[in-house]
């Protein structure tokens, strides 16, 4: 299976207009059986997106995050049980570097993964190093610790999990990581998970756009893309979809 995930982050889009632009420009792209195209709007826009995309034969809905807690006195949070009230939500991003910077530790990310799996929502787990870590030559060690924090979870062997490798230094800069660097990290992630008997699809994210997506997708161990800025424009996102 291939995946194209849009992370709209804290942007409010004109959803009807976005869907129109996407549908008008995507032409004939792969069907849902081989390519899952998942849009992650902010929490408030999720119900509206579900309603407006109901006719689309391509678009699916995901969440940008979830609480690690069960429903209760946790101001401002949204639980996996709330997400599962929407049967249309099959995916949820966790461990995004922007959430890790806001306080999500590896332990919290693991709790979020567990909550999602309990609700049969597939986690899209973001991992990735800072520029400082990369330059200090500590990248593999850093990635290993992030992967190790959840990969001993027995239930992962029977549930689907998606890993998104997003080097922090490539996010939102307009300059994607070099292909050789992406390859090294993705191969390392794949090999590490295989030692735990976890078969995972691995995506790349970080300044992906229509122009660079084809080359990134040609890498054999890359199963898809997690796209921020370039996903805000329905036409550009449709062009990326055509490269699958």
Residue positions annotated with a catalytic role: 96, 166
Cβ burial, residue 21 (10 Å; 0-12/13-18/19+): middle
User: Are 237 and 227 spatial neighbours (Cβ–Cβ below 8 Å)?
Assistant: yes
- The piece of 48-56, 65-73, 128-136, 206-214 that touches ligand 13P (CB under 6 A) is 206-214
- CA within 13 Å, CB half, 81: 4
The token pair at 30 is 């792969």
Alpha carbons 95 and 149: distance in angstroms, whole number: 11
Of the two residues 45 and 207, which places its CB atom closer to ligand 13P in the complex? Answer: 207
The residues pairing with 224 across neighbouring beta strands, listed in sequence order, are 3, 203
User: Are 176 and 217 spatial neighbours (Cβ–Cβ below 8 Å)?
Assistant: no
Among 227, 238, 240, 241, binds ligand 13P (CB under 6 A): 227
CB of 93 to ligand 13P, least distance (A): 7
Among the listed residues 228, 215, 231, 113, the one whose alpha carbon sits nearest the alpha carbon of residue 163: 113
Of the two residues 67 and 207, which places its CB atom closer to ligand 13P in the complex? Answer: 207
Alpha carbons 81 and 84: distance in angstroms, whole number: 5
CB of 62 to ligand 13P, least distance (A): 11
User: Are 22 and 238 spatial neighbours (Cβ–Cβ below 8 Å)?
Assistant: yes
Of the two residues 182 and 227, which places its CB atom closer to ligand 13P in the complex? Answer: 227
CB of 36 to ligand 13P, least distance (A): 16
Among 41, 95, 206, 234, binds ligand 13P (CB under 6 A): 206
Helices (H), the chain: 15-25, 46-52, 80-84, 97-101, 106-118, 131-135, 139-151, 179-195, 210-217, 234-242
Q: Is 27 in the site for ligand 13P (CB under 6 A)?
A: no
Binding mask 162-201 for ligand 13P (x = CB under 6 A): ----x----xx-----------------------------
Q: Is 229 in the site for ligand 13P (CB under 6 A)?
A: yes
Binding mask 98-137 for ligand 13P (x = CB under 6 A): ----------------------------------------
85-88: long-range contacts at Cβ-Cβ below 8 A with a sequence spacing of 24 or more? 86/46, 86/47, 86/50, 86/61, 88/50, 88/60, 88/61
Q: Is 7 in the site for ligand 13P (CB under 6 A)?
A: yes
Of the two residues 33 and 122, which places its CB atom closer to ligand 13P in the complex? Answer: 122
Site for ligand 13P in 54-83 (CB under 6 A): none
Task: Write out the residues near ligand 13P by the rule CB under 6 A.
Answer: 7, 96, 166, 171-172, 205-208, 226-230
């Amino acid at each position: 299976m291939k995946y194209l995930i849009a992370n709209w982050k804290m942007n409010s889009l004109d959803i009807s207009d976005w869907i129109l632009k996407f549908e008008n420009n995507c032409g004939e792209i792969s069907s849902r059986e081989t390519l899952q195209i998942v849009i992650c709007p902010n929490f408030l826009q999720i119900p509206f997106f579900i309603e407006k995309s109901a006719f689309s034969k391509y678009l699916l809905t995901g969440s940008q995050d979830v609480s690690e807690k069960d429903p209760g006195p946790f101001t401002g949070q949204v639980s996996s049980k709330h997400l599962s009230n929407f049967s249309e939500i099959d995916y949820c991003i966790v461990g995004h570097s922007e959430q890790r910077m806001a306080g999500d530790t590896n332990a919290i990310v693991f709790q979020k993964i567990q909550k999602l799996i309990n609700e049969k929502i597939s986690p899209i787990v973001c991992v990735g190093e800072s520029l400082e870590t990369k330059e200090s030559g500590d990248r593999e060690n850093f990635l290993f610790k992030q992967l190790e924090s959840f990969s001993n979870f027995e239930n992962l062997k029977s549930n689907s999990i998606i890993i998104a490798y997003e080097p922090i230094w490539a996010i939102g800069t307009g300059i994607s990581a070099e292909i050789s660097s992406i390859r090294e990290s993705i191969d390392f992630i794949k090999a590490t998970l295989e030692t735990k008997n976890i078969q995972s699809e691995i995506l790349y994210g970080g300044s992906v756009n229509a122009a660079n997506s084809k080359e990134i997708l040609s890498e054999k161990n890359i199963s898809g893309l997690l796209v921020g800025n370039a996903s805000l424009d329905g036409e550009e996102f449709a062009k990326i979809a055509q490269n699958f």
